[in-house]
Chain A
């Protein structure tokens, strides 16, 4: 599903050169739930941005569904993001001036051929999946952190992406809320077969996923199946 070959990312200013990622090689097959761990500044988010086609590697090849994306232009990359990828962020990134329903509908605004009625139906289905069908007319500021993150997940789901990239989705939540969000992600992976890559600082959350990759100073230091590896997929 996602393949990274010899990925290197260097941030360069006039005076300083910072290596964010060095020689990263990864293959994430379809339907896998992978967590990425490591200390702050080790390159986890950079990795996620490169996987999410939000950033370009300095060197190396990124393949999504076997297609090398380096030759694609901005418009085509945006199309791939819209069709294949869903994003969940630590700080939710909801638009406060739009209702819950309008926030969830956002990705489909950039997809051609989807009618307003169909968009509305898909948004309601996505909100039902995350248990927020009663909050469609609310605004993000009227919701708790957990509810906001559920809206963000519904927004990531509406386009029925094959891959969800979650950057510390439970980072701003207490343990109960975090647990709720984690369960939603686990359900998505188990029931819908969605491939999920999650960056986290929480060892417990990471252990609930299928595979754990650890990073340190921009380098991949371990890649192993977790104890939850043998959980039963439905």
Chain B
């Protein structure tokens, strides 16, 4: 019977061409949207590598260009901030704080290998503020003051790309400006961009205020005790503004920043999903209409099949089967195109993402086909054979 169905659809390929094309394009759009969704969902389920609850970001903008003066004020501000009992810990960072919209990267080399990695400039207490877990080695601190190299903590993604099976601890990495970095620790994960972004190679570089005399860091990450809210925020900003007169100070929570970042990832995903749903609805209505029309056109054939021995359930299965065969023709074309994505690793996305999307898209197209064929096929099965034959 399957051979018969394929033969029937193949012989009707001209009249089914548009339907097959429609299924083909529907599959491609579905595949694209699902790839994006699967990519985002998989990333969402991966650990971020830090805890952002009760962490605030205090952004400070001095009113003068004098770094020396600004550094002096900054140290006073930090000294005062440490005095707040409501604050558990804090650490300065550069502008690419977690969930911020800025990024900084550097090219590092190890032997023959080179890597472009995100650089996060942070103070020693960053691991306490963000509850970072060092899986190998240690976080940098006072013990590194005497070191001739910049101590860095790398993430696992960077370790895998640069060191493969080698132990990275103690290894020296070089930058274009001939600075040397020494790996002192490894963290499993660190994905500060957003929950929906894939992990990228990255390393933490140490802010050492006495050494980095010429630099000014205006972002302070503050871990507050649970339950701290607007009242404490106002009190803290008021007091700190008293020290940094004329400075602009702005406090935001990492939770707010996370939500803003999530929106950026979600909006295109939702927009594409809505477009995709409309397209699928359109295809479904088209499929339903064509099937309905086909059945009314094929009354005589239905009558004949019943006369030569088809039970109504077999007529039902035949029409469902025909739609599945039609979908298969469209899917064969679609899969031939879509399979190139995992094979060529387009957009450097894991093959698994494409393969999952491919599987779900195939399943959805078949479900859509069955859904659309269900009612018309039932109608076909209910046609009275004597009436159907008489209509001819």
Q: Tell me the A residues contacting B by CB distance below 8 Å.
A: 45-46, 49, 52, 54-55, 74-75, 77-79, 81-83, 87, 89, 91, 93, 95, 97-98, 102, 106-107, 109-111, 116, 155, 159
Contact = CB atoms under 8 A, between A and B. Distances in A.
Contacts of A98: 7-8, 11
A79 B304 CA distance: 14
Interface of B: 1, 3-4, 7-8, 11-12, 300-301, 303-314, 384-386, 389-390, 392
A155 B301 CA distance: 14
Given A54-B385, A93-B389, A109-B1, A81 B8 contact: no
A45 B387 CA distance: 11
A93 B300 contact: yes
Q: Give the interface SS of chain A, mostly helix, strand, loop or mixed.
A: helix
**Nearest 3 pairs of A and B residues by beta carbon:** A82-B309, A110-B309, A78-B311
Contacts of B314: 78, 110
8 contacts: A49-B386, A54-B306, A78-B310, A81-B308, A89-B389, A98-B11, A106-B305, A110-B309
B312 A74 contact: yes
B386 A54 contact: yes
Contacts of B386: 46, 49, 54-55
Contacts of B307: 52, 54, 81, 87, 93
Contacts of B311: 74-75, 77-79
Given A49-B389, A93-B303, A97-B12, 5 more contacts: A55-B385, A78-B314, A89-B389, A91-B300, A110-B305
Contacts of B385: 54-55
A102 to B, nearest CB: 7
Contacts of A74: 311-313
A83 B308 CA distance: 9
A3 B1 CA distance: 34
B4 A109 contact: yes
B309 A79 contact: yes
A46 B389 CA distance: 11
A82 B306 CA distance: 9
